[in-house]
Homo-oligomer: A and B are copies of this chain.
Amino acid sequence: MLTRCLGARRVRQIRRAFRHGAVTFLCLFLTVVVLRGTIGAGKFGTPQQDFDNLRHHLNSHRRVLEEQNSEKTTATTNNYVTFDMSTILVDEPLGKDEITRDPNAPYTLGPKITDWDQQRKRWLRQNPNFPNSIAPNKPRVLLVTGSSPKPCENPVGDHYLLKSIKNKIDYCRVHGIEIFYNFALFDAEMAGFWAKLPLIRKLLLSHPEVEFLWWMDSDAMFTDMAFEVPWERYKDHNFVLHGWNEMVYDEKNWIGLNTGSFLLRNSQWALDILDSWAPMGPKGKIRDEAGKLLTRELKNRPVFEADDQSAMVYLLATERDKWGDKVYLENAYYLHGYWGILVDRYEEMIDNYHPGFGDHRWPLVTHFVGCKPCGKFGDYPVERCLRQMDRAYNFGDNQILQMYGFTHNSLASKRVKRVRNESSNPLGVKDELGLLHPAFKAIRLPVSSS
């Protein structure tokens, strides 16, 4: 009996020891993450200010990063430096059916396609009932996100995945955007943050009616339900990411752009850049070696296996002539917004502004970079993450609830309260933000020719 107790106690002690190790490591991890997240940062938030702020942030963190280099391998092997919940798939063993290619052949996302624009144009002509635009200057958009098919290691994680998709359902319903939520791993070699590439290619080729595919990480939430993407601005571009030209093209800074939320036009160009983006992705030796190259070539990148974001910075920086003119690095609004510099300002935003700006005044997206609520964590940081994810969710949800005359008791509260009484003339009630029947959702289509 007594020994059983002592045994139990020893186990507890060992556990505690482990936890302490984790905490130390966490600090390293979060620094890296904050740095990566800092893209789009800014105490005041105007693009130029963001930029200066970011420089400052980078300098102050250089030493930290250098220190981190001693821990490199840990960072890599622990696979801690991942930015998307879907990376849980990284740890899964490969099924026998899953390796389909000759390991010696160079990796490709699929058979080469060179005439996609013509194929797609022909299809659109033949299928007038599936137009690629749902209104003038309103392309048909498919928002793509996803997470692991397994329950989260951290049980509460699934609840936040649920809130995150509910949040996306709301934005997309209001803006007439379709959603594809992915649980599947289409290419075992491209597990983790690379899984989106084969998925995106597959969806582009399967849905010629989709003009823009919007990738969004599962840890990003819409916080401005009223902001409509300025589609017109991108009419001559194929790829829109949050980022800065100087940081990507001049500095080759690994956080010069963020791949957690981007727009990709369905086009031959998209297939081509996916092909050029993919080669660093295959798991194992290729991805590890590529990671070393990226850390060597990119500014401030700690050592870890190749990630899709660094690979894109590297691709654009080294082949600007080939891709640059069709890539739009957006920083006039938060297509991606780093949570660390936004979540504490929500009350300030509520006092001074209103939804619809999408920028530092009311961010379109709050991205919980590095907050892996689905992964195994513990202690303070994840709690801060979860508390702030609740705030971000409620901040966005209030804009949905106001349509129906409700609001959260506070940004910290799950409960809602009435903000106006029921009316016997419901259609007379105008919702402040005009989100019930927004002009940008109105459908205007030519009569089908069939």
- Using CB atoms and an 8 Å cutoff, list the residues of chain A in contact with chain B: 1-2, 4-5, 8, 92, 95, 97-98, 100, 110-113, 119-120, 122-123, 127, 129-131, 147, 149-152, 155-156, 158-159, 161-163, 165-166, 169-170, 173, 178-181, 183-186, 202-203, 205-209, 397, 401, 403-406, 409, 414-418, 422-427, 436-437, 441-448
Contact = CB atoms under 8 A, between A and B. Distances in A.
B184 A173 contact: no
B418 A100 contact: yes
Nearest to A209: B437
A306 to B, nearest CB: 23
Cβ-closest 8 pairs across A and B: A155-B155, A129-B442, A158-B158, A110-B422, A205-B426, A149-B414, A97-B417, A151-B159
A417 B98 contact: yes
Contacts of A202: 404-405
A395 B395 CA distance: 37
A404 to B, nearest CB: 5
Given A158-B162, A165-B165, A113 B418 contact: no
Nearest to A148: B414
A157 to B, nearest CB: 8
A397 B146 CA distance: 14
Contacts of A403: 206
Contact of A448 (B162, B203, B442): B442
B443 A97 contact: no
Given A186-B406, A414-B150, A207 B436 contact: yes
Given A113-B426, A206-B403, 18 more contacts: A1-B2, A1-B5, A2-B2, A95-B409, A119-B427, A129-B442, A147-B162, A150-B414, A151-B156, A152-B159, A156-B158, A158-B161, A158-B162, A165-B165, A183-B414, A184-B416, A209-B437, A444-B448
